[in-house]
Amino acid sequence: MSTRLVTFTLDERVYGVDVDAVQEVLRGQPRTRIPLAPTSVAGLINLRGQVLSAVDLREQLGLAAYSTDQEPMLVVIRVSGEPVALLVDSIGSVVDVEADQFEPPPDTLVGVARDLILGAYKLEDQLLLALDVDRAVAA
């Protein structure tokens, strides 16, 4: 049984989310900051008249913040039927992974990041970390 994942990078690690959860991929959308919001909420985005929350995955995973010259890309996913934008470094491709490639999260993942990863797929040239989108957005 294969699964299709949309891949993206954060701090040179490759992550994936189920292709069925992804609505679209965007670049360069202006974000409006929300006063007093948690630091993981990067703001609101107006997507063709629909207002979405933008979640900073770097913040969620305990990674270094974006530099001022770095424009993150957005992966719009659906969580409980609602669209949410995830800020990522870059978008990869859609890959097919098999159940026998799946393993528990690697020991090198610690802290919050470990709680947000379902597990890892061993691919030929890299490790693909499967992101738990429900937890990543809820956190």
Domains, in order of start, for the chain:
2-138 (2.40.50.180)
Are the C-beta atoms of 39 and 56 separated by less than 8 Å?
Answer: yes
106 band by pLDDT with thresholds 50, 70 and 90: confident
Query: Taking 70 as the threshold, does the pLDDT of residue 88 lie above it?
Result: yes
The residues near 16 (Cβ < 8 Å, ≥ 6 apart) are 5, 6, 7, 8, 95, 97, 121, 128, 129, 130, 131
Look at residue 23 in the predicted model and tell me its pLDDT. Answer: 95
Query: Taking 80 as the threshold, does the pLDDT of residue 103 lie above it?
Result: yes
Region 64-82: mean pLDDT is 88
Look at residue 139 in the predicted model and tell me its pLDDT. Answer: 58
Helix H segments across the chain? 57-60, 112-115, 133-138
Look at residue 20 in the predicted model and tell me its pLDDT. Answer: 94
Cα(34)–Cα(44) distance, integer angstroms: 7
Query: Taking 80 as the threshold, does the pLDDT of residue 67 lie above it?
Result: no
How far CA 23 is from CA of 77, 85, 88, 96, 114, in Å, comes to 5, 10, 15, 18, 25
Query: Taking 70 as the threshold, does the pLDDT of residue 71 lie above it?
Result: yes
Six token digits for residue 71: 């424009």
Cα(46)–Cα(112) distance, integer angstroms: 29
Decide: pTM greater than 0.85: yes
Check residues 110 and 83 and name the one with the higher pLDDT.
Answer: 83
What percent helix, strand, coil does the chain show, rounded to 5?
15, 50, 35
Query: Taking 90 as the threshold, does the pLDDT of residue 49 lie above it?
Result: yes
